[in-house]
Amino acid sequence: MDFDETYCQANFIRISKDVKLGKNVKIFGFVNLYGCEIGDNTKIGAFVEIQKGVKIGSNCKISSHTFICEGVTIEDGVFIGHNVTFINDLYPRAINERGDLQTEKDWKVVPTLVKRGASIGSSATILAGVTIGEYAIVGAGAVVTKDVPPYTIVAGVPARILRTIRDFDDEKKGDPNAY
């Protein structure tokens, strides 16, 4: 799709000139993208913000009302549910020690990685510095404070391991015993 200025204005989409979009990316209304990379065939829902330095792989689905901050990398084939929030600062503050509003010089971005095929449920919060493993599933509303191993289902506040997924191929075949 061609995201020319007229199309973007008509659909309330803001894409800065430094955004790198892959082929066949779909973007819905009220989206704000700047300084990020979006892979081929990825779908970005309405009311999403993706900040500078974010890298999103191919064949991903980013659902509406999601916030993806600087420092986040999302590999190929990842599902992000509605209203998911990523956090990139371990000690957020409005002001520095002098009492002035903080600037980028006053804090450090802590990277977060979501590995291939992972799925994050609606309204989950992903704290800074975690890795969500390949094909892991994060339950809706979970607060992820620690790394999630590959092929693992986590849920809760804070997120805890519920069980593992034996084999992704069994899951795709509809094996009810795959979990």
Question: Can you give the pLDDT of all 179 residues of the chain as single tens digits?
Answer: 566 666 656 666 778 889 999 999 999 988 999 999 999 999 999 999 999 999 999 999 999 999 999 999 999 999 999 999 999 999 999 999 999 999 988 989 999 999 999 999 999 999 999 999 999 999 999 999 999 999 999 999 999 999 999 765 655 555 555 54
The answer to whether position 100 is within a domain reads: no
pTM for this structure? 0.88
Full residue range of the structural domain in which residue 111 is found: 5-90+105-172
The answer to whether position 44 is within a domain reads: yes
CA-to-CA distance for 48 and 66, rounded, in angstroms? 5
The answer to whether position 179 is within a domain reads: no
The answer to whether position 42 is within a domain reads: yes
Strands across the sheet with 143-144, in order?
13-15, 31-33, 49-50, 67-68, 85-86, 125-126, 143-144
The answer to whether position 99 is within a domain reads: no
Q: What is the CATH number of the domain that holds 71?
A: 2.160.10.10
